[in-house]
């Protein structure tokens, strides 16, 4: 019994940083997500009025997390490896990541707008003008992206200055910033479409599409003066673009699941408030785990194996503990801020069952995606967070909507 107690004590002492900083950042993120949920509740009229709004909102939130979660993971790895400097000079780690994030935000917002509109046309009875839908995606993406870039820089600066392990805080805080920025910016872009002259919307959309093509092509064709010097921004965009484009389909699938269950979700206000918090806490947990596993694989503290080993299982346990506390918090907080006809016991059963099922998928998916990235000589920072986050958006949404349908 004494040995077990010592082992337990050792586990918590070893991982004090992730429990303290990780839990604080997850709770902060949960509060921000609940604020985003309340804002989403205020958008109920637009959700019902405009075709595919749930698809747009959840795809945009997921895409923001993919782009900037991966950026945070890259910055965290560079800090672990001693290559990070708080500098905006050309070819610096920070400058390269900002350039890549800008190009990816523009190009993927445009791609998501086109694909999202096509999906609505194919699978839903109601329609919307293509340029209007793409305008919402682009303008919402640009405005939210600008906010999240600034937030990412602040986290990098504070983490570097205070010698924090940013792997423990980046994913939850970036996910929260993405939520709290994306929902209002999508709302603003939607308001513009409904209250501005159609010609202005169409011309602005065409100009933004032209700007997107120009900026993307300019970066991809950029030459490096020194032969052996790598253009890091160009490398990030080239490696990330195919993966992130595929991830859009997972995000849209998640949005379609939510869209199909809109009537059940809108019926109980607490579920509409809970939805962003639930999905993005899952996203934050998967981002935190994949960031930690990526860093461990980079610096050699965990080996790439067919089956998870000791360090991997220790991280799985950490995520289970954090998930239980976090899901209890968001369920209780959502019930307090938006009481409805749904009982507290029923709500907590929905949240905990769906949350722990989602966490189980997160643990094993994150491990095998990270290991596969190493096996195929890919950078885990560029691929792990986007892939795990996008798949978890779809899987987490399916689990939550299924549990809601079964229990109410």
pLDDT digits (tens, 9 = 90+) for 217-248: 999 988 876 655 678 889 899 988 998 999 89
Nearest to 348 by CA among 66, 356, 8: 356
What is the predicted pLDDT for the residue at 142? 95
CB burial of 93-122 (b: ≥16 within 10 Å; e: otherwise) equals bbebbbbbbbbbbbbbbbbbbebbbebbee
Q: How far is CA 20 from the centre of its chain?
A: 22
| Cα separations in angstroms, 280 against 81, 126, 277, 324, 329 | 28, 28, 5, 15, 14
8 A C-beta contact, residue 59 and residue 249: no
Q: What is the Rg, in whole angstroms, of the alpha carbon atoms belonging to the chain?
A: 21
Burial of 77 (0-12, 13-18, 19+ CB in 10 A): buried
Nearest to 61 by CA among 231, 212, 177: 177
User: In whole angstroms, what is the distance from residue 265 CA to residue 44 CA?
Assistant: 11
What is the predicted pLDDT for the residue at 187? 87
**Across 46-65, average pLDDT:** 79
Q: DSSP string covering 303-358, please?
A: ---SS--HHHHHHHHHHHHHHHHHHHHHHHHHHHHS--SS-HHHHHHHHHHHHHHH
Predicted TM-score (pTM) of this structure: 0.78
What's the mean per-residue pLDDT of the chain? 83
| Cα separations in angstroms, 383 against 70, 252, 328 | 8, 19, 30
User: In whole angstroms, what is the distance from residue 78 CA to residue 221 CA?
Assistant: 25
Widest distance between CA atoms in the chain: 75
Banded model confidence at residue 6, pLDDT cuts 50, 70, 90: very low
User: In whole angstroms, what is the distance from residue 270 CA to residue 342 CA?
Assistant: 8
Nearest to 281 by CA among 213, 333, 217, 230: 333
Least confident range from 9-13, 45-49, 102-106, 360-364: namely: 45-49
pLDDT digits (tens, 9 = 90+) for 37-53: 787 777 777 776 777 78
Nearest to 69 by CA among 253, 284, 240: 284
DSSP category for residue 231: -
Position 351 pLDDT exceeds 90: yes
Residues with Cβ within 8 Å of 29's Cβ and at least 6 positions away in sequence, in order, are 172, 173, 175, 176, 280, 281, 284
DSSP category for residue 1: -
**Across 62-66, average pLDDT:** 83
What is the token pair recorded at 61? 């939130």
Nearest to 31 by CA among 185, 182, 186, 176: 176
What is the predicted pLDDT for the residue at 26? 86
User: In whole angstroms, what is the distance from residue 234 CA to residue 245 CA?
Assistant: 16
**Which ranges of 2-129 would DSSP assign to H, the alpha helix?**
2-14, 16-17, 23-42, 44-49, 53-80, 93-123
User: In whole angstroms, what is the distance from residue 346 CA to residue 353 CA?
Assistant: 11
User: In whole angstroms, what is the distance from residue 321 CA to residue 168 CA?
Assistant: 14
Give the helix/strand (H/E) hosting 398: helix 380-407
Q: Domain ranges in the chain?
A: 10-407
Nearest to 392 by CA among 223, 183, 247, 188: 247
Residues with Cβ within 8 Å of 406's Cβ and at least 6 positions away in sequence, in order, are none
Position 3 pLDDT exceeds 50: no
């Amino acid at each position: 019994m004494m040995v077990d107690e010592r082992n337990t004590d050792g586990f918590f002492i070893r991982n004090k940083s992730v429990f303290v900083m990780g839990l604080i950042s997850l709770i902060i993120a949960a509060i921000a997500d609940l604020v985003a949920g309340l804002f989403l509740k205020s958008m109920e009229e637009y959700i019902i009025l405009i075709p595919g709004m749930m698809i747009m909102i959840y795809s945009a939130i997921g895409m923001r997390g993919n782009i900037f979660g991966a950026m945070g993971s890259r910055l965290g790895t560079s800090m672990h490896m001693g290559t990070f400097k708080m500098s905006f000079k050309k070819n610096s780690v920070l400058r390269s990541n900002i350039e890549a994030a800008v190009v990816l935000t523009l190009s993927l917002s445009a791609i998501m707008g086109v694909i999202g509109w096509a999906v609505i046309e194919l699978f839903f009875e109601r329609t919307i003008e293509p340029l209007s839908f793409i305008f919402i995606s682009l303008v919402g993406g640009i405005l939210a992206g600008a906010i999240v870039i600034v937030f990412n820089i602040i986290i990098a600066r504070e983490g570097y200055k205070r010698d924090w392990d940013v792997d423990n805080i980046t994913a939850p805080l970036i996910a929260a910033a993405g939520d709290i920025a994306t929902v209002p910016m999508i709302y603003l872009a939607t308001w513009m479409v409904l209250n501005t002259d159609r010609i202005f919307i169409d011309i602005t959309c065409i100009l933004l599409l032209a700007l997107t093509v120009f900026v993307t092509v300019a970066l991809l064709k950029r030459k490096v003066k020194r032969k052996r010097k790598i253009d890091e921004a160009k490398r990030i965009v080239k490696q990330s673009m195919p993966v992130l484009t595929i991830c859009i389909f997972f995000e849209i699938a998640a949005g379609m699941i939510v869209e199909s269950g809109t009537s059940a979700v809108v019926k109980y206000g607490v579920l509409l408030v809970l939805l962003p918090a639930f999905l993005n806490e899952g996203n934050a947990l998967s981002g935190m785990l994949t960031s930690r596993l990526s860093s461990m694989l980079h610096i050699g503290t965990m080996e790439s194996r067919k089956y998870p080993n000791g360090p991997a299982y220790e991280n799985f346990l950490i995520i289970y503990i954090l998930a239980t506390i976090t899901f209890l918090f968001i369920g209780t907080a959502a019930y307090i801020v938006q009481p409805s006809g749904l009982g507290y016991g029923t709500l907590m059963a929905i949240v905990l069952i769906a949350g722990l099922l989602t966490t189980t998928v997160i643990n094993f998916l994150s491990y095998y995606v990270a290991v596969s990235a190493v096996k195929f000589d890919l950078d885990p920072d560029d691929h792990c967070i986007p892939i795990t986050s996008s798949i978890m958006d779809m899987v987490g949404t399916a689990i939550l909507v299924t549990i809601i349908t079964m229990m109410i």
